[in-house]
Structure 1
Amino acid sequence: MRVLHVISEMGAGGAEALVAGMAGAGGDVGWESAVASGGGFRADALRNRGIPVFDVPVARRSLLGIARAAWATRRAVSRFRPDVVLAHNVSASLTARIAAPRRPLVTVFHGVAEADVAGAVKVLKRVSDAVVTVADAAAERLHDAGLGSAVVIPNAVFPEPAGADRATVRRAIGTPPHVPVALCPARMERQKRHDVLLDAWSLVTGDAELWLAGDGSLRADLEAKARGLRGVRFLGTRTDVRDLLEAADVTVLTSDWEGMPIALLESLAAGRPVIASDVDGVREVLAGGGGVLVPRRSPGQTAKALRGLLYSPTARSVAASRDARADAHTLMKSYDELLRTVLEGR
């Protein structure tokens, strides 16, 4: 089965990590995979592995932007000739449907802000043959907004070769071995609410450090807000988040909303406890343990959780214990079954 993944970009985000993992592991379930995207380091890595990658400009929110993306996607479809298209998120699904009106199209819905759910459902009902959500709560929200049904396939972490060890990473960043570190691997956009995290960090005392791994439109504002705060390091966009997890002690994410964040799954796989906002997808990730949920937009509660875990190895060990979640093999088998069912139905 020839599967074309369509996604806006292939950078450091969770959806991008999922696409890279699925495209790389497709052969295990009998797929020939290709990716159409706006590029990024994950796209380059797939090319280096011999997986076809087609350049598609990001579909900006304009008719011209959508038309350009759809035209480039059409060329990708013509060259790769997929049996089925797997589009990640709503805008990619719209351009994929315009580009390939006769191909089976499955959408992976990674999440949108609550105010955008109704609009997303209108698009998905028109363009998608099937919709996958990465969390039960997301499926419920789509159903409440009028989508007939969605298949829930929780995200999983794909195995990667071992990278740099803890001491090497800390030495490169300039962090002493004994200093407790909280890592926030997230794009610097409003959804992730780094402002709440920085407010919380102002309430954390001691010699701990906060590593902010990511970039975005709010970086300059956040750097200004962080002036005068002890131990805040802006690391920029990183391709080695799993190495950073090995070197950190706690992962923290203060988002307003999430689908099912890959970064938290990677943190748990690395044995690092999580402090995160009590929002839909995160709540499901931590249902079996693995960390501390804090109220959304609550610097005080976030700071309390940080103080409790950063300075207590015992508390971190207890918090990190959890039930196992679905692995990458289970995820691939679930997608394979769905895609083949949709293809046969078409």
Structure 2
Amino acid sequence: MRVLHVISEMGAGGAEALVAGMASAGGDVGWESAVACGGGFRVEALRAAGLPVFDVPVARRSPVGVLKAARAVRVAVRRFRPDVLVAHNVSASLVARLASPRRKVVTVFHGVAEAEVGSAAKVLDRVSSVVVTVADAAARKLTDAGLRSVTVIPNAVFPTVPSADRATVRARLGTGVNVPVALCPARLEPQKRHDVLLEAWAQIPGEAELWLAGDGSLRASLEAAAPARVRFLGTRTDVRDLLEAADVTVLTSDWEGMPIALLESLAANRPVVASDVDGVREVLAGGGGVLVPRRSPAQTAKALRGLLFSPAARSVAASHDGSADAHTLMKSYDELLRTVLEGR
């Protein structure tokens, strides 16, 4: 089965991590995989692994941009000749449908802001052959908005190992081995509410450090507002190493689909402090951390203080029942795609 993944970019986000994992592991389930995208640091690794990557201009939600992207994906379709297109999120699904009107387009819906759910459901109802969501809450929202059928396949983490140990990573960053460290692996965009996190961090005593792994449109304003002991690390390709070196992961988002960053944290046995929002709630349903009210710096600070300065508390908080594994995820997608193709 020839599978073409269509996604806006292949940078540091959770959807991008899922595409990289699925494309790389596709051979295990009998896929020949390719990716059509607008660039990003993951492209080099995909090409090094022998996977075709087709350049597509980022649509940016403009009509002209969508048409340009669709033309580029049409070229990818003509060259790769996929059996099915797997489009990640709404704009990529529209681009995929315009590029290939007769092929099946399977959408993987990673989530949108609450105000956009209705319009997303309308678009997906028109352009998608099948819609997959990464969490139960997202499926309920789409069906409540009028989408007729949604399949849920929870996100999973593809196996990786750190390339450096805790002491080595900390030495590179100039951080002492015994300094408590919280890691926030998230794009510096409004959804992630770093402003809430920075306000919470101002209430953390001692020499503890906050590492922000990610970049985005809010970086300058966040740097200007940041209290002491906050490190802006930019976009990173070594998040697994950072998790090895950190003590706690923190995420203060307003909304999430099913954040890969938290799944990676659980896989690394690092406890999580995160907003009690859909998606996150599902990740932590079996334990693994502390949920705090959304937009609550005080409660976020309290949870961080409780974990950063107590190895025993971290050990208890990190205990969890586990989550879906990559093998199960690939098997679920393979069965779905083959069922879709049999129905054409």
Flag whether TM exceeds 0.5 (same fold).
Answer: yes
Query: How far does the alpha carbon of each residue in 1:290-329 deviate from its partner, in whole angstroms, 9 at most, with x for none?
Result: 0000000000000000000000000000000000111000
Query: How far does the alpha carbon of each residue in 1:79-124 deviate from its partner, in whole angstroms, 9 at most, with x for none?
Result: 0000000000000000000000011110000000000000000100
How far apart in 1 are the matches of 2:145 and 2:163?
43
How far apart in 2 are the matches of 1:13 and 1:44?
16
How far apart in 1 are the matches of 2:321 and 2:150?
25
Could you tell me which runs of 5 or more consecutive residues in structure 2 were left unpaired when the two chains were aligned.
none
Counterpart for residue 115 of structure 1: 115
Pairing 1:69–2:69 present? yes
Pairing 1:310–2:333 present? no
Query: How far does the alpha carbon of each residue in 1:222-247 deviate from its partner, in whole angstroms, 9 at most, with x for none?
Result: 00001xx2210000010000100000
Q: Offset at 1:162?
A: 3.5
Q: Offset at 1:61?
A: 1.8
How far apart in 1 are the matches of 2:295 and 2:322?
29
How far apart in 1 are the matches of 2:333 and 2:61?
29
Counterpart for residue 255 of structure 2: 257
In the superposition, the TM-score normalised over structure 1's length comes to: 0.99
Counterpart for residue 59 of structure 1: 59
Q: Which amino acid aligns with 1:27?
A: G
Counterpart for residue 45 of structure 2: 45
What is the SS of the residue equivalent to 1:125?
A: helix
How far apart in 2 are the matches of 1:179 and 1:261?
27
Q: Offset at 1:160?
A: 2.0
Q: Which amino acid aligns with 2:244?
A: E
Counterpart for residue 245 of structure 1: 243
Pairing 1:145–2:145 present? yes
Query: How far does the alpha carbon of each residue in 1:206-258 deviate from its partner, in whole angstroms, 9 at most, with x for none?
Result: 110000000000000000001xx221000001000010000000000000000
Counterpart for residue 102 of structure 1: 102
Q: Which amino acid aligns with 1:198?
A: L
Counterpart for residue 228 of structure 2: 230
What is the SS of the residue equivalent to 2:60?
A: coil
Q: Which amino acid aligns with 2:157?
A: V
How far apart in 2 are the matches of 1:262 and 1:23?
16
How far apart in 1 are the matches of 2:71 and 2:314?
50
Q: Which amino acid aligns with 1:215?
A: D
What is the SS of the residue equivalent to 1:167?
A: helix
Counterpart for residue 267 of structure 2: 269
Counterpart for residue 186 of structure 1: 186
Kindly report the root-mean-square deviation, in angstroms, between the aligned alpha carbons of the 2 structures. 0.6
Pairing 1:30–2:35 present? no
How far apart in 2 are the matches of 1:261 and 1:43?
21
How far apart in 2 are the matches of 1:221 and 1:149?
41
How far apart in 1 are the matches of 2:37 and 2:337?
20
What is the SS of the residue equivalent to 2:154?
A: coil
Q: Which amino acid aligns with 1:132?
A: V
How far apart in 1 are the matches of 2:161 and 2:235?
20
How far apart in 1 are the matches of 2:13 and 2:3?
21
Could you tell me which runs of 5 or more consecutive residues in structure 1 were left unpaired when the two chains were aligned.
none
Counterpart for residue 200 of structure 1: 200
Counterpart for residue 124 of structure 1: 124
What is the SS of the residue equivalent to 2:116?
A: helix
How far apart in 1 are the matches of 2:232 and 2:218?
12
How far apart in 1 are the matches of 2:161 and 2:287?
26
What is the SS of the residue equivalent to 2:147?
A: coil
How far apart in 2 are the matches of 1:68 and 1:80?
19
Q: How many residues align?
A: 344
